[in-house]
Amino acid sequence: MIKVLKPGFFNTVQDKGRFGFASVGVPVSGVMDSSSMDIANGILNNSLEAAVLEITFACEFQFLCATFICVSGGDFSAKINQQAIGLNKKIAILKNDVLSFGKVNYGARSYLAISGGIQSEVQLKSKSFYKGITTDFVLKKGMILPILERIKEGAIANASIKTDSSYFKSKEIKCTRGPEFELLSLQQQKVLLENIFSISKDASRMGYRLNERIENKLPSILTSAVLPGTVQLTPSGKLIILMKDCQVTGGYPRVLQLSERAICKLAQKTTQQQIKFLVASYLS
């Protein structure tokens, strides 16, 4: 078991998401940076579907049993019993050890994977927190999270994975043209694909609104399907990039579509950081 000593702000349990329920209006949800989640689960030899903790603000946990952990993604100055630990490493945890996350050195989300994954409730085939679907939608002080206890010591690998810093620093966000891209004028297309955009304060698991505007006189479209990574052009001329908790339909023109890798990169950026759309002929 893990006890939440300090919950932070909007820290959650996430897995790969909730698929197959768009017809009844249920978002995909799931981890924002699936690449970092995969690294952490892979190091622990977990299933890549195993639920993790998605950390966005300083928090603290006490382990009520022995286990192994791996921290990946953004560097939030993770410490065990006030001793700094590295990222992307398999680390042995003893009963009553305290893990804390504090100062952000880079990135916007850190991930805590635990051997066997978080064993929380499954709702609609997923453990991902979402208001109205799961009992809890954020971590709370005193909450107990079930995990599997480590019975044997097992081998601890000394190897670690080094991540490419460009993953966190690069402005380029790979995407393809959206269904309504061709409705844009050549000038609008040029602005969209050549300009630098910055992330506004209105950025969450539902979507990232960008600060800059594109002159827009396009009419709204019939309500149509959207998904994480869809870039919508609003009547005000501002762009919204839909993220993992986004709605399943929308009425704004869908001008671009991000790749999964691009969603991961964007999830590690925060307010006022810059991005540039890079159109590819296929998603990768």
pLDDT, tens only, 17-38: 999 998 889 999 999 999 999 9
Two tokens, residue 126 = 């997923």
Mean pLDDT of 267-276: 96
Hey, where are the domains in the chain? Answer: 2-145, 170-279
pLDDT, residue 182, reads 93
Whether the CA torsion 188, 194, 198, 199 is positive or negative: it is positive
pLDDT, residue 270, reads 94
pLDDT, tens only, 185-233: 999 999 999 999 999 999 999 999 999 999 888 877 888 999 999 999 9
User: Given a cut of 70, is residue 154 above it in pLDDT?
Assistant: no
pLDDT, residue 153, reads 56
Q: Looking at domain 2-145, does it have CATH number 1.20.1070?
A: no
pLDDT, residue 160, reads 66
Q: Print the SS3 string covering the chain.
A: CEEEEECCCCCEEECCCCCCCHHHCCCCCCCCCHHHHHHHHHHCCCCCCCCEEEECCCEEEEECCCEEEEEEEEECCCEECCEECCCCCCEEECCCCEEEECCCCEEEEEEEEECCCCCCCCECCECCCCECCECCCCCCCCCEECCCCCCCCCCCCCCCCCCCCHHHHCCEEEEEECCCHHHCCHHHHHHHHHCCEEEEEEECCCEEEEEEECCCCCCCCCCEECCCCEEEECCCCEEEEECCCCCCEECCCEEEEECHHHHHHHHCCCCCCEEEEEECCCCC
Residue holding tokens 């698929």? 19
Per CATH, 2-145 and 170-279 having the same topology is answered: no
Two tokens, residue 138 = 């954020």
pLDDT, tens only, 108-151: 999 999 999 999 999 999 999 999 999 999 999 999 999 998 76
Q: Enumerate the β-bridge partners of residue 70.
A: 113
Closest CA to 229 of 252, 254, 251, 198: 254
Q: Which CATH class is domain 170-279?
A: mainly beta
pLDDT, residue 282, reads 46
pLDDT, residue 283, reads 43
pLDDT, tens only, 39-98: 999 999 999 999 999 999 999 999 999 999 999 999 999 999 999 999 999 999 999 999
pLDDT, residue 217, reads 84
pLDDT, residue 151, reads 67
